[in-house]
């Protein structure tokens, strides 16, 4: 996994609440047997017309907005456990998703793929949406070590929460399997105990 330290980027705003994983990546794209190419179908039904042409009114097709930070309405990633949603977001090039609330499984899946979910207050989120409305080139800075996110339009900063273990994993580019494999003897001891 790639290391994550700090990131300053323009943002892609998606002020919709309850964006579920079926919108992030519709089920018909889950037939692949590898992790590649999902970025092309990120938000497919909002992004493309039936004939495959881009829908002009969707934010990913609006050249005003770009960057590696997606900012979305509350309860992002609800629904299905499909990790394909995290692969689609990472595959498109997003490294951070900012929202006021995330669904549990999506949050885990994102972290396991080096995408950082940043939970901000409803007020901070609303100010970011207003700022990007006024100026599409507004940037956010996300600093993982200090656990801060800054709206560079206003200079306003907020702390965000992240599990200390997951933070270490991201800072060092390690994943859970490395950790679990190192605990093999404890697993076998547990199995003996419950026999």
Minimum CB–partner distance for residue 155 and other proteins (Å): 24
Three-state SS at 98: strand
Distances (CA, A) of 133 to 48, 64, 126, 157: 23, 10, 11, 19
> Considering beta carbons, is residue 102 or 139 the nearer one to other proteins?
102
**Contact partners, residue 148, CB within 8 Å, separation at least 6:** 141, 142, 157, 158, 159, 160
CA distance 176 to 47: 33
> Considering beta carbons, is residue 86 or 139 the nearer one to other proteins?
86
Minimum CB–partner distance for residue 126 and other proteins (Å): 7
CA distance 24 to 34: 18
> Considering beta carbons, is residue 35 or 156 the nearer one to other proteins?
35
Binding site for other proteins (CB under 8 A): 15-18, 20, 22-23, 26-28, 30-35, 45, 50, 73-75, 78-84, 86, 101-105, 108-109, 112-113, 122, 126, 163-166, 175-177, 179-181, 183-184, 186-187, 190-191, 193-194
Minimum CB–partner distance for residue 8 and other proteins (Å): 27
The two three-digit tokens of residue 19, written as one number: 């964006």
> Considering beta carbons, is residue 10 or 107 the nearer one to other proteins?
107
> Considering beta carbons, is residue 133 or 137 the nearer one to other proteins?
133
Minimum CB–partner distance for residue 62 and other proteins (Å): 17
Classify residue 8 as exposed, middle or buried by CB count within 10 Å of its CB (0-12, 13-18, 19+). middle
Minimum CB–partner distance for residue 50 and other proteins (Å): 7
């Amino acid at each position: 996994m790639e290391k994550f330290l700090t990131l300053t980027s323009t943002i892609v705003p998606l002020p919709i609440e309850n964006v579920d994983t079926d919108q992030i990546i519709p089920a018909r794209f889950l037939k692949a047997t590898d992790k590649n190419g999902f970025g092309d179908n990120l938000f497919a039904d909002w992004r493309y017309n039936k004939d495959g042409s881009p829908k002009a009114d969707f934010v990913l097709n609006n050249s005003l907005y770009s960057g590696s930070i997606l900012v979305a309405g509350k309860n992002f990633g609800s629904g299905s456990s499909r990790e394909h949603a995290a692969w689609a977001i990472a595959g498109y090039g997003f490294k951070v998703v900012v929202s006021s609330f995330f669904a549990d499984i999506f949050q885990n899946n994102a972290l396991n793929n080096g995408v950082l979910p940043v939970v901000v207050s409803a007020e901070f989120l609303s100010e970011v949406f207003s700022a990007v409305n006024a100026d599409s080139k507004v940037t956010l800075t996300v600093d993982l070590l200090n656990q801060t996110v800054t709206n560079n339009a206003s200079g306003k900063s907020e702390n965000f929460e992240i599990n200390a273990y997951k933070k270490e994993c991201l800072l060092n580019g390690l994943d859970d399997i490395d950790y679990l494999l190192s605990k093999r003897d404890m697993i076998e001891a547990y199995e003996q105990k419950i026999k």
